Chain A
Amino acid sequence: MTIRLGVPSKGRLMDKTFAWFADRGLDMRRSGSEREYAAEVAGADVELMLLSAGEIPRELAAGRIHLGVTGSDLVQERIPAWDQAVEVVAQMGFGHADLVIAVPACWVDVATLDDLDVVAAAFRARHGFRLRIATKYHRLVRDFLREAGVADYQLVDSQGATEGTVAHGTAEAIADITSTGETLRANHLKILDDGLIHRSEATLFRARGAAWGAAERAALDQVIGLIDGA
């Protein structure tokens, strides 16, 4: 019996994942053509599943894969009580990105969440609706703002090009992933001083709810042995 390991099926995230495991003696490669989503692994009793990075949290939560590589942001956003469903096996040291709250750079009076809260109250009084924050990370942003005691805002869904929503007049602020901040600056946005919601990184997770028999645990020990030996 082998354990199933889900890894991102394309792009830099896949390449870096393959390289990360290769450094640890687990050789992964695609079987067949570039277009085929099947892969093999040599060096351990592991079955490789190529999946979209966005699907990996769901597969982990359902226990259909034993291990999975994806961004910690996606796991925390998509799995309710994520730490009860999965366990971090290793932080992989790439795919770094920060989920942050950003506001127009011309808001010189706004530097902190406290300012954002005050501005939201005034905005609602003036415009008759709550200040809009565009994001696709609804759960993380809402939990963060509740914890910080920010009121009078609403989240508007934005699945892409979120930085442009403020200029287009569909939001007043955004919460999105950034690695260098360059796109934010180009869109005349600035990050709040205390607006860091989550520091995301590619992470190897273990699904607590997968079938963990003696054979699977032995295979896991083998993988962990290789990782720890690196």
Chain B
Amino acid sequence: MTDKPAIRAEAARLAAYFEAAGALPFEADLLLPADTLLDLYGEDIRARAYVTHDPDRGEMMLRPDFTVPVVQRHMAGGAEPARYTYAGEVFRTQAAGSNRPSEYLQVGYELFRRDDPVAADAEVFALFSEVLSPAGLRAVTGDIGILLAAIDSLTTTDARKAALRRHVWRPRRFRALIDRYTGRAPVPPARAALVETVQARDAATLIAEGGPEIGLRSAADIAARIEALAEDAAAPPIPAAEAEVLGVILSLKAALPDACEQLRDASVDLPGLSPAVETFAARIAALDDAGIDVAGLPFEASYGRTTMEYYDGFVFGFLAEGRADLPPVATGGRYDALTRILGGGRSIPAVGGVIRPELLRRVMTEATA
């Protein structure tokens, strides 16, 4: 059923379209050093990528995506603003018995631009929307920036905000943290006991009684955490009203203009949310300027939360209607933080996305069959 020449031709057509939009063609190695990818994505990537071993260079990975190489290449001295396109194989292991391919083509478009981020978001989305329009896909958008801003607006400690930000991509743990911080869930007994004990006794003695100091985590690190636990125990709960607004935001699903109104309502209770909502409104205007029918474009606040954790702003996907069995035909989003991590002290706002030509072709062929 795989028709490789036709899929390659489709990939070439998409890449040519992105080149015509001003993108420079970009090539990446198939074998990438594993350490950067592992450090960035964590152990999960090891379960999803092919890891191989080079006697001299250590662990290598068969390219699981283009994002890391394209960002590295740009950070090593690209012009500003810069647009890149690429077309090539990526490799992902699949669950046993899954019919999904473990090797497929991706065609991408990435935009590095310092000024006017909402215009950059709109440029990328509009290009994808136009080139995908014959396939009749369902578009969906989200905004991780709204979630991060909502967390920052909560009346609580910086440590709690940091913990919530870190787990925004793991909804179950996020939920558990919210339940704890609002007082809905009790403090784990072992922790409560420790906090109580340390009020009466010296932390250093307690640590020494636990056992000899082994490993890289020092007694000072442990004492610092005990102190942090005591501070956290003394912190007042997140007000129930704020937690409720956060819950409303997380479950928000509406067309863009309606979503914007609801977010404005939410910022009455969480005033810190306002700048992110204004960015959201400006993006709607930019999408409208780019010719997108914003009134018909769905927004799902939690979209993108369970995928790769490098997206930190606008996110989007194009899905085959009524085909929940298929992965999205195209996905993308903003990843400013990733450029900071890979940039070694420098960073540049970036937004981009990928299309899977074999899925696009399949959806279009099935539609005409």
Contacts and interface: CB of A to CB of B under 8 A. Distances in A.
A189 to B, nearest CB: 8
Interface in A79-128: 80-81, 84-85, 104-109, 111-112, 114-115, 117-119, 121-123, 126-127
B37 to A, nearest CB: 12
Contact of B42 (A114, A138, A154, A190): A154
A106 B167 contact: no
B215 A112 contact: no
A114 B47 CA distance: 22
Interface stretch (A17-25, A27-35, A165-173): A165-173
A71 to B, nearest CB: 20
Given A81-B96, A130-B39, A108 B222 contact: yes
B190 interface: yes
Interface stretch (A3-11, A52-60, A145-153, A199-207): A145-153
A148 B39 CA distance: 20
A117 B96 contact: no
Contacts of A142: 43-44, 46-47
A155 interface: yes
Nearest to A146: B44
A80 B96 contact: yes
Contacts, number: 113
A121 B166 contact: yes
Nearest to B197: A108
The secondary-structure label for the interface of chain B is helix
A104 B190 contact: no
Given A84-B97, A108-B206, A149-B167, A155 B215 contact: no
B322 interface: no
A192 to B, nearest CB: 10
The secondary-structure label for the interface of chain A is mixed
B194 interface: yes
B42 A109 contact: no
Contacts of B42: 130, 151-154
Given A108-B206, A111-B188, A142-B47, A151 B166 contact: yes
A206 to B, nearest CB: 18
A46 to B, nearest CB: 28
Contact of A104 (B46, B214, B225): B214
B39 A118 contact: no
Which of B44, B207, B208, B211 lies at the interface centre, i.e. has the most chain A CB atoms within 10 A of its CB? B211
B191 interface: yes
B216 interface: yes
A82 to B, nearest CB: 9
Contacts of A169: 215-216
B172 A149 contact: yes
B170 interface: yes
B210 interface: yes
A115 B43 contact: no
Contacts of A166: 214-215
Interface string B194-231: 10000000000011111111111101011011100100
Given A122-B221, A166-B215, 11 more contacts: A105-B211, A106-B210, A106-B219, A108-B226, A119-B225, A123-B217, A130-B42, A149-B170, A151-B167, A169-B215, A172-B216
21 contacts: A104-B217, A106-B208, A106-B211, A106-B212, A108-B194, A109-B225, A109-B229, A111-B190, A112-B190, A117-B173, A118-B163, A123-B216, A123-B221, A138-B46, A145-B43, A149-B173, A169-B216, A171-B215, A172-B215, A188-B211, A188-B214
